Copies of this chain bind each other. A is one copy, B any other.
Amino acid sequence: MWLRTSCDFLFDITVPIPFVLMLRPRSGAQQWVAREEYRLEPSVPVFEFTDHYGNLCQRLVAPTGAFGVYTSAEVKTADYADQAFGAPFVEIQNVPDDVLSYLLPSRYCESDRFHQMATEITACQQPGYDQVSAIIGWLRNTISFRPGSSDIPVSAAEVNSRQVGVCRDLAHLGIALCRSLSIPARMVVGYLYRLDPMDLHAWFEAYVGGRWYTFDATQAELKGGYVAVGYGRDAADVAVYNQFGPAVYPTAQTVHVERIRG
């Protein structure tokens, strides 16, 4: 399907502040960006670079006063995210070099502490896709998905203790459980068609059967309409904006996703 996504931020800046933004979706194996817009008001010098994970990042210094970031894109993405029950666990020796780092614990995914729990959750499952699927089922049953329930990222261990979280939190716990079983898993931030309430979204991918598959514990059933903006080990890598110095929060943030003809 073809989607038009947009994400706008408005900041009220009191002292010039360096930002690193990650708001430009990339065309890749899963999606094609046919049109894209990225506007700053006022216009300031921007330097774009590609990070370790292949994300396009925009560096700038936000000037004092009202500062707006307006982005939109027209993207072709799959009508239905691929599913592959039975897809096997990839033996570590066959995991590609550049996927290996997604096996390591990271800031918000303390996978080194979840092995026992993951083993119980996935008992009786075939190693691979079915294990991840069992983790998704467990997350849906156990952790309440409550948009707005946390505003700063919390870690998988904290989420597990709270038993409630936002999309990012469920993804962190899902990732930690996968990695604790030696299944590579990574965070994705982006858009989801018909997400309710509409907002930026976070989900995760797991590497089984020789490729990455999409998983999302916040949805009752896995449909399509995902548009990825950033990939990383966890939320620390894929903040749509990182600002340095005194904390600054958007005074307004708007996200839209609508279906269009291609």
Q: Which residue of B lies closest to A110 (CB)?
A: B107
Contact of A107 among B33, B43, B106 (CB under 8 A): B106
A206-233 interface mask toward B, CB cutoff 8 Å, 1 = contact, 0 = none?
0000000000000000000000000000
Given the known interface contacts A18-B93, A37-B35, the answer about A43 and B245 at a Cβ–Cβ threshold of 8 Å is: no
Main SS class of interface, A: mixed
Given contacts A35-B38, A46-B32, A104-B107, contact A245 B26 (CB under 8 A): no
- Which of B36, B153, B245 interacts with A182 by CB under 8 Å? B245
Nearest-CB distance from A131 to chain B (Å)?
15
Q: A75 to chain B: closest CB distance in Å?
A: 11
CB-CB under 8 A from A83, the residues of chain B are none
Residues of B within 8 A of A45 (CB): 32
Residues of B close to A20: CB separation below 8 A: 92, 100
CB–CB B48/A28 < 8 A: yes
Instruction: Please state the number of chain copies in the assembly.
Output: 4
* Contact indicator A91/B18 (Cβ below 8 Å): yes
Select A47's contact among B28, B33, B34, B105, beta carbons within 8 Å: B28
8 nearest A-B residue pairs (beta carbon)? A18-B92, A27-B48, A49-B97, A35-B37, A92-B244, A105-B107, A104-B236, A182-B244
Further pairs besides A27-B46, A92-B245, A106-B107: 15, Cβ < 8 Å? A18-B92, A18-B93, A34-B37, A34-B39, A35-B36, A51-B97, A52-B101, A57-B97, A59-B93, A101-B237, A103-B242, A103-B244, A105-B236, A112-B152, A112-B153
**Interface residue ranges, A against B (CB under 8 Å):** 18, 20, 26-29, 32-39, 43, 45-52, 54, 56-59, 61, 76, 91-93, 97, 100-101, 103-107, 109-110, 112, 152-153, 182, 236-237, 242, 244-245, 262
Can you list 9 contacts pairing A with B, beta carbon distance less than 8 Å?
A: A27-B46, A27-B58, A28-B47, A35-B39, A51-B97, A52-B101, A59-B97, A112-B152, A112-B236
